[in-house]
Amino acid sequence: MVTLAVAAGLASLLVIVALGFGFAALYVALATITSPPAAAIAAAGTALALALATIAVGQHVAYRLARKLDERPTQCGRDHVATELRRELAKEAASFAVAHPRLSIVGCLLVGYVLGANPNLRTGLQDIIETL
């Protein structure tokens, strides 16, 4: 991923250098036909027109991508939130169990004992698990 970003950055730098040489060549070619100040203005105007065209195309592409993203169905429903919450809680519980194995074992034994001794708690926990 980093290599791709570095390659894109180097390619962008090379394009900028190439454009610089291209506009310098345009200036030299125009300077032989017209006066040097007029050639400089023409080369700068061409560079400005190219920059504005690039901005316009970029805005158009960004607008089209934004419209496509807006048309996609979003996943922010209740089921998606519950799934993400379960996933995050499982990660937290697993990292706690790895960090504190003895405390985890004692906690599991105590929870098992309490749920086994109290049928109301067991039924309540089963209802919670079924709704998730």
Condensed to tens digits (0 to 9), the pLDDT of residues 80-119 reads: 777 777 788 788 888 877 887 887 787 777 777 777 777 8
Query: Whole-model pTM?
Result: 0.45
Condensed to tens digits (0 to 9), the pLDDT of residues 30-74 reads: 989 999 898 889 888 888 888 888 888 888 888 887 777 666 555
Which pLDDT belongs to residue 74? 57
Give the residue extent of every domain in the chain: 2-71, 78-131
User: Could you tell me which residues come within 8 angstroms of residue 104 by beta carbon, excluding any fewer than 6 positions away?
Assistant: 96, 97
The single residue listed with the structure tokens 């697993």 is 94
